[in-house]
Amino acid sequence: MLPAIPFNKPYLSGPETRYIEEAVRSGKISGDGLFTKRCHQFFEQQLGFQKVLLTTSCTDALEMAAILLDLQPGDEVIVPSYTFVSTPNAFVLRGAKIMFADSTAQNPNLDTALLESLITSRTRAIVPVHYAGIACDMDTIQEVASRHGIAIVEDAAQAIDSYYKGKPLGTLSDLAAFSFHETKNIISGEGGMLAINNTKYAQRAEIIREKGTNRSSFFRGEVDKYGWVDIGSSFLPSDIIAAFLWAQLEHLDDIQTQRKAIWTRYFKAFSALPAQGVALPVIPAYATNNGHMFYLVTRSLAERSALIDHLKQQQILPVFHYLSLHKSPFYAAQHDGRELHWADHYTDCLVRLPLYYELTPELQQRVIDGVLEFYVKR
Ligand SMILES: *Cc1c(COP(=O)(O)O)cnc(C)c1O
């Protein structure tokens, strides 16, 4: 039998375990050690971020952002319905009400044409999700946000090394959240990062991340003792996690080159599918592709199920993705009843193909052949 092709396989660049051992032997394995500092510097000095803080997950970075915005119960936050649970949940934890936005017809990003209609006197933030690492229409989002005095929090979980008009995703907002979960391009098992682009949040972010204490100032010698000064939690990762992440960041270019090559092979191989009504990812002129994900959008749920079954019979494991959150068991009763056609369409029809560093051209050809065979047969 042919070897199975999983959807994802975490990639080790090489020095991960060596750096973990170094961290362990250094005698300091709690947060903000040597490897955390190296990771922070890499993002700030080489990738163009003003200030970043590693967190234990993107979920935590989003929760930090929600605390930083000082949301009050009843405040409203605009979030796409087609996203991961953590995007709205972080704000719901602060008592916010979620106004779910629909996706666009061309890709799952939030439809900015509808943005204005979602704004009320209680709107406090817009949370664009750069789906598949492809930028949202940030000029429009920034224009609407600044006109109404609303914050922007980017969910950049999938968006490392991707750009909007030449600017890195995660720098186009007040606060942005990244993920290093093992399914992302750059990984540390679980892990995340908060990027702070509006300096007014910088000091408080450090405090919130350190259990509501000014311990970070204390370690820099700015105060002679530290204490409880605000609300917070324990959002910082152990330096063991940062050591793993550092090994990945050192190989960022190599990882990205490889992922983008795999993505491009899929894109070229499937160039005839749109003529059959199957949509490929659309990357607007203002956006780049970071090789995070390759997906197809089938014509119907039945077609997607049949395609997945067809590939599974050949030991290939494609997966669908989000379920519209405005219809989720938790939020459906609180949703205002608007139909979100495109979010539901991607819920039913989007399917992601295997994409990971070690997907060799031979293995990838099996996936390509499997998909093409399915559509030729039909
Ligand atoms: C992966 C992901 C998250 C959650 O990231 P964690 O690091 O697992 O908390 C949030 N939002 C989006 C869009 C994601 O893809």
Report the Cα–Cα distance between both ends of the chain, in Å, rounded.
26
**For 185-199, what is the mean pLDDT?**
98
Considering 250, 275, 294, which residue would you say is the last residue of a domain?
250
Same domain, yes or no: 154 and 297 = no
Asked if residue 95 and residue 82 are part of one domain, the reply reads yes
pLDDT at site 1: 76
Together in a domain, 225 and 295:
no
Whether residue 154 is found in the same domain as residue 95: yes
* Residue 53 predicted with pLDDT over 90: yes
204 and 278 co-located in one domain: no
Say if residue 323's pLDDT is above 70.
Answer: yes
In the sheet that 319-320 helps form, which strands lie side by side, from edge to edge?
A: 295-297, 350-352, 319-320
Is 1 within a domain?
Answer: no
Q: In the numeric block, which tokens belong to residue 84?
A: 């991961």
Read off the tokens for 16. 């991960």
Mark whether 57 and 151 lie in a shared domain. Answer: yes
C-alpha to C-alpha distance for 222 and 264, rounded to whole angstroms: 50
Best residue for ligand 1 mutational test, from 162, 179, 186, 245 (most atoms within 8 Å of Cβ)? 179
- Could you tell me if 183 and 309 lie in one domain? no
Same domain for 22 and 122, yes or no, is: yes
Q: Tens of pLDDT along 351-373?
A: 999 999 999 999 999 999 999 99
CB distance 13 to ligand 1 below 6 Å: no
Q: Which of 54, 59, 178, 323 has most ligand 1 atoms within 8 Å of CB, for mutation?
A: 59
Range of the domain at 282: 252-377
Instruction: Count up the domains in the chain and report the number.
Output: 2
For 214-224, write each residue's pLDDT tens digit: 998 988 899 99
- Please, what is the average pLDDT of the chain? 97
Boundary residue ending a domain (250, 269, 302): 250
Q: What is the structure's pLDDT at 378?
A: 67
Among 198, 228, 250, residue at a domain's last position = 250
Percent of the chain topping pLDDT 90: 96
Reported as a pLDDT band with limits 50, 70 and 90, residue 376 is confident
Q: What is the pLDDT of residues 260-282, one digit of tens each?
A: 999 999 999 999 999 999 999 99
Distance 349 CA to ligand 1 centre (A): 21
CATH number at residue 352: 3.90.1150.10
Q: Name the residue with the closest Cα to ligand 1, atom 6.
A: 58
Average pLDDT for 138-148: 98
Clarify whether residues 240 and 307 are in a common domain.
Answer: no
What per-residue confidence (pLDDT) applies to 57? 98
The single residue listed with the structure tokens 């990771």 is 39
Say if residue 377's pLDDT is above 80: no
pLDDT tens digits for range 114-141: 999 999 999 999 999 999 999 999 999 9
Note whether residue 230 is domain-resident: yes
Indicate which CATH number applies to the domain containing 93.
3.40.640.10
pTM exceeds 0.75 for this model: yes
Residue to probe by mutation, ligand 1, list 64, 79, 84, 323, most atoms within 8 Å of CB: 84
Instruction: State residue 295 phi and psi, 5-degree precision.
Output: -130, 160
Specify whether 56 is located in the same domain as 198. yes
Q: Are residues 273 and 292 in the same domain?
A: yes
Evaluate whether residue 62 is within a structural domain: yes
Identify the band that residue 2 occupies on the pLDDT scale cut at 50, 70 and 90: confident
Average pLDDT on 240-250 reads 98
Residue 141 tokens read as: 């989002």
Write the DSSP string, 302-326: HHHHHHHHHHHHTTB--EE----GG
Within a domain: 72 = yes
Q: Bridge-partner residues for 52, per DSSP?
A: 195
> Are 215 and 318 within one domain?
no
The one-letter code for the residue type at 290 is: N
Domain membership flag for residue 300: yes
| Inside any domain, residue 5 | no
Say if ligand 1 is within 6 A of residue 187 CB.
no
DSSP 81-108: SSS-THHHHHHHTTTPEEEEEPBPSSSS
In a domain, 7, yes or no: no
Do the domain assignments include residue 9? no
* pLDDT confidence of residue 62: 98
Residues 66-100 have pLDDT tens digits of: 999 999 999 999 999 999 999 999 999 999 999 99
